[in-house]
Amino acid sequence: MKLNIAYPATGCQKLLKIDDEKILSLFYDKRIGAEVPADRLGDEWKGYILKISGGNDLQGFCMMQGVLTNTRVRLLFAKGMPNYRERRTGVRKRKSVRGCIVDSQLSVLDLVIMRKGDAEIPGLTDVTQPRRLGPKRVGKIRKLFNLSKEDDVRQYVVHRPLPEKDGKKARSKAPKIQRLAHPC
């Protein structure tokens, strides 16, 4: 089974392939959202706590929160439900999904680091990936830069540099700010 471990604080993720059933039995019979200590994965994982966020089985069917089984079931999906995009208005569709309980039939298990341990994990907790895009909404820009209502949000928009073309000056792109009350 592969473990896809994400660390939101740095924006990095790492894929581990583990075949040892003794280690994997730590995750068996746990549900999506359960927090599991990662001590069994190795010495560098001591003190880490992982949260199960999802996964896929060997045929590619995703786990779905709220389906309390470890097998595959066929559910009738309608507009607004997760894992379903309505193609025509009012159309419902029966689809296969995997239950939210972990077992040995999964090919990938998605995990998120909830609490960091003592040691650094190379490629996951020691490196920071910068966010490619900044926030677009006024409230989120204010929150990111800790601005007050009087500050001009337009000065703090994150610009993304574009690659230079032959003989032309460097350009950058920025999102159009949404929910800007007075753009004057």
Q: Give the whole-angstrom CA distance, residue 159 versus residue 114.
A: 31
- Segment 148-165 shows an average pLDDT of 90
For residue range 64-73, list pLDDT tens digits in order.
999 999 999 9
Q: Give the whole-angstrom CA distance, residue 21 versus residue 48.
A: 20
Q: Determine whether 55 is exposed, middle or buried from the number of CB atoms within 10 Å of its CB (0-12, 13-18, 19+).
A: buried
pLDDT band at 184 (very low <50, low <70, confident <90, very high): low
Q: Determine whether 149 is exposed, middle or buried from the number of CB atoms within 10 Å of its CB (0-12, 13-18, 19+).
A: exposed
Q: How far is CA 100 from CA 65, 97, 144, 157, 161, in A?
A: 5, 9, 34, 40, 42
Angle, CA 150 vertex, CA 147 and CA 154 arms, to 5°? 70
The per-residue pLDDT for 131 is 80
Q: Give the whole-angstrom CA distance, residue 89 versus residue 158.
A: 37
